[in-house]
Chains A and B, each alone.
Chain A
Amino acid sequence: MADPSATPDFFLRTLLASPSLHGASIGDRIYRVTTTAFALSIPLLLVLLAIEVMVAAWPALRQFHFGFVTSTEWNVVDGVFGAAPAIYGTIVSSVLALLIATPLAIGVAIFLAEFAPPWLRQPVAFLVDLLAAIPSVVYGLWGVFVLVPFLREKLMPFIADRLHLGDTPLFSGPAYGPSMLAAGLILAIMVLPYISSVTREVLMAVPRSQREAALALGATRWEMIWGAVLPYASSGVMGGIILGLGRALGETMAVTMVIGNRHEISASLFSPGYTMASQIANEFAEATNDLHLSALMAVGAVLLFITLLVNMLARWLVWRVQRQERA
């Protein structure tokens, strides 16, 4: 039999000696220590990740301070790094994606939770969920060879010339194809299944009585949804949207392949841009000097920070709904 006091590790020893284990068999002790260690590995991993990224990012952050997130200059030769265009591009492409995906995703979720006949429910839900299973690089491939040419030859000329919106700042400039618009569209397709599956789940969690009460008062089917179901589910739906935002902010491959990778802030959705993730993917392997590398790490740190905040917000909202349900 192993003697617990022989283990050199202080943590292990305190754990093994904890009062709740008093009288437990050695098998139970080993089992509990092992599962606890595996559970602890998750917070440790996250802390290690944050530390490693921050340490690597430190030289650039120390040199540029807040200028790093406000400056638009990114000059490898002169060693001046400002990530504002990438931050701007990340936010604009993600918000654009949400603007397109959210109404669609909520529409799909309402259809599946409320109106779809049972035989149609499973297959459609399966197809929408499949969208989440397609690897990012496959979306990118499709984006490069289908979406971008379509934008360049059909959609962009249509918006600019037929709809006469070419003079508005949002749609000005030449139609290259790779653009903020392309990134927003492809991200919209990619985040749609996340928003719709969370929304579907919260809609299904709304009690029947809520619906029956609305119908009994003479509401139409839509009025029931709008007046009695959606308000009840609203904070869960919001959680789903923010979860989708978290996905969109960090999405790398597909965006890198269609956004055009230009370090520039432009109001026009037709012009190429950059996102934080695509900048890292694009430049990291070619970064030769230490400051450039550190600046890319700092971009990663900013991205990490933003997605952490967004994810925590999303989890909190979903958690609140679940608590409401239980109460």
Chain B
Amino acid sequence: MSARAPRRSVRVRRARSAVMVGLTVAAAVLATLPLIFILALLIKQGASSLNWAFFTGMPKPVGETGGGMANAMAGTAMLIGIAAAIGLPVGIGAGLYLAEHRNGRLAWVVRFLSDVLNGLPSIVVGIFAWQFLVRPVKQFSALAGGIALAVMMIPLVTRATEEMIKLVPDSLREAALALGYPRWRTSLTVVLRTALPGIVTGALVAIARIAGETAPLLFTAFGNQFWSTSLTQPISALPLQIFSYAISPYEEWHSLAWAGALVLLALVLVISLIARFVTRSRFGHGHD
């Protein structure tokens, strides 16, 4: 009996181990299922209402069939443009600072607060932008929406830039300095240039992330049923249009919401894939 007991307990332990390993496999399957469901349904529902008019047409009033989201797509492009025009220089500049002052006290504070900013709920950024930019002038605007998105973008670009610059070997920087380059030229033309593919990736990831944001735009860009490219007027955006169509009671609008969601997701995925491709072509061999 004393000879049997340990052998059995080994068997039990092995069995338990196998069960737990199996459970982690099950968790992996279960975690990927929602994604597959959502993608499949998006393609099925979205593709059936996608047509040429969706890309060129304007929203139609209730009751009329057809209609498109041309204005929402232009709006999303414009909002991304404004956000990138503000968020990229600030983020890259701050990232440079963080990478060059690794252990500085200010750098520590900025790094920490940038992570905190990154974790703020997007709706809070939205009401901040409303209070700061919309309320004083009593006017919803594309500019306010773009700035709200820039606030979300800055911490992402900052940390991505910092991480990428840290990967640049110090020897490169030292070589440039030894050749008599001033610090600023070393940073901009040697270090930043070397890290550029990684920073482009970080920027694209940040753009992919803000392209789908709705909450910061609800009370800033607000949405618009008409074509607009004015900075000072309310502007439509794909996520806003999807939201308002999804919660509407009309069947026709629901299918437009699906089509819009398919286009939005395709946009986000294409940007993310380009982002992966940019780094892979540069750093691809070696690790990963």
Contacts and interface: CB of A to CB of B under 8 A. Distances in A.
A50 to B, nearest CB: 9
B182 A42 contact: no
Most buried by B among A25, A46, A103, A144: A46
B184 interface: yes
A38 B94 contact: yes
Contact of A135 (B112, B119, B128, B214): B214
Interface string B80-105: 00000000011111101110100000
8 contacts: A24-B183, A42-B114, A133-B269, A135-B261, A140-B246, A220-B17, A225-B20, A280-B127
Contacts of B28: 107-108, 111-112, 116, 124, 128
Contacts of B127: 53, 56, 280, 284, 296-297, 300
Contact of B30 (A35, A53, A104, A223): A104
Contacts of B53: none
Contacts of A243: 119
B236 interface: no
B270 to A, nearest CB: 11
B149 interface: no
A39 B98 contact: yes
A138 B208 contact: no
A172 interface: no
A315 B98 contact: no
Most buried by A among B30, B130, B158, B246: B246
Nearest to A144: B246
Most buried by A among B120, B124, B246: B124
A43 B100 CA distance: 18
Contacts of B213: 135-136
Given A31-B188, A257-B247, A284-B218, A107 B27 contact: yes
A235 interface: no
Contacts of B184: 25, 27-28, 30-32
Interface stretch (B31-39, B59-67, B194-202, B224-232): B31-39
A253 interface: yes
Interface stretch (A61-69, A76-84, A304-312): A304-312
Interface residues of B, number: 88
B242 A27 contact: no
B236 to A, nearest CB: 14
A111 B98 CA distance: 35
B243 A137 contact: yes
B31 A104 contact: yes
A252 interface: yes
Most buried by B among A37, A140, A221, A225: A140
Interface in A125-148: 127-128, 130-131, 133-142, 144-146
A280 B215 CA distance: 10
Contacts, number: 260
A310 B119 CA distance: 9
A179 interface: no
Contact of B27 (A42, A104, A222, A223): A104
Given A35-B94, A110-B24, A252-B122, 13 more contacts: A38-B91, A38-B93, A40-B106, A49-B151, A52-B131, A55-B131, A128-B28, A134-B212, A144-B246, A222-B16, A284-B218, A297-B127, A311-B115
A277 interface: yes
A36 B31 CA distance: 43
A134 B262 CA distance: 10
Contacts of A130: 35, 269
Given A131-B35, A137-B246, A311 B123 contact: no
Nearest to A116: B28
Nearest to A224: B17
Contacts of B96: 35, 38
Contacts of A138: 38, 42, 212, 242, 261, 264-265
Contacts of A229: none
A307 B94 CA distance: 24
Nearest to B89: A38
B218 A115 contact: no
Contact of B124 (A146, A196, A303): A303
Q: Which 9 residue pairs spanning A and B have beta carbons closest together?
A: A250-B121, A135-B212, A107-B27, A38-B93, A31-B184, A220-B17, A222-B17, A39-B97, A311-B119
Contact of A111 (B27, B106, B151, B188): B27
